């Protein structure tokens, strides 16, 4: 087989049907939209409309509570921090902006929170919005330190 012999499978690519191009095309005049009515007109988008019947999303019960003031934190695990230190992308002094610059965190959101998943073998000084108790213990066990910029988020949550 040569590159010039490559072809799509028969029927894999079909030409787009051009509607409203005369009676001989099979899709002329009303262009497959039927006669009259809302859907035959242009510019109509009926998403959840069920013809006057109560829409499904309104019939189903609503549960729970969505807190509009909820904070969303970017999460970093100790194992990933160690991996980036080994790769030379992070140093001993780690801040939230350095985590973003290194590519470990995509964006800060409402802050960065450190969790204890994985093993940390380096001594590091981390300044973040929050950290779990076990993460703080793991960092301090290696002689490092954790500084919280947002103490309300705290170590124990």
Q: What is the pLDDT along the chain (157 residues), one digit of tens a residue?
A: 899 999 999 999 999 999 999 999 999 999 999 999 888 888 887 888 888 899 999 999 999 998 999 999 999 999 999 999 999 888 889 999 999 999 999 998 899 999 999 888 889 999 999 999 999 999 999 898 999 987 665 555 4
CB atoms within 10 A of CB 106: 9
Give me the pLDDT at residue 157, please: 46
pLDDT confidence of residue 51: 80
Q: Return phi, psi of residue 59, to 5°.
A: -80, -30
Q: Which residues of 140-151 are buried (b: 16+ CB within 10 A; e: fewer)?
A: eeeebebebeee
| Angle, CA 100 vertex, CA 95 and CA 103 arms, to 5° | 125
Tokens 């921090």, located at residue: 81
CB 117 within 8 A of CB 78: yes
In the prediction, which pLDDT does 18 show? 93
Domain ranges for the chain, please list them: 74-148
- The whole-number pLDDT of residue 81 equals 92
Q: Rounded to the nearest 5 degrees, what angle is found at the Cα of 78, between the Cα atoms of 72 and 84?
A: 100
- Predicted pLDDT of residue 37: 87
- Domain over 74-148 is classified CATH 3.40.50.2000: no
């Amino acid at each position: 087989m040569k590159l010039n012999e490559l072809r799509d499978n028969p029927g894999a690519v079909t030409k787009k049907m051009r509607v409203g191009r005369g009676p001989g095309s099979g899709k002329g005049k009303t262009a497959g939209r039927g006669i009259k009515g809302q859907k035959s007109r242009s510019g109509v988008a009926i998403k959840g409309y069920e013809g006057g019947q109560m829409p499904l999303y309104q019939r189903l019960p609503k549960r729970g509570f969505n807190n509009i003031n909820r904070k969303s934190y970017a999460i970093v695990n100790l194992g990933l921090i160690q991996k980036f230190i080994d790769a030379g992308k992070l140093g001993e002094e780690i801040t939230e902006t350095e985590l973003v610059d290194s590519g470990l965190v995509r964006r800060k959101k409402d802050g960065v929170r450190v969790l204890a998943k994985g093993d940390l073998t380096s001594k590091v000084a981390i300044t973040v919005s929050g950290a779990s108790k076990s993460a703080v213990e793991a960092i301090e066990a290696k002689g490092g330190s954790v500084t919280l910029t947002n103490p309300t988020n705290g170590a124990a949550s």
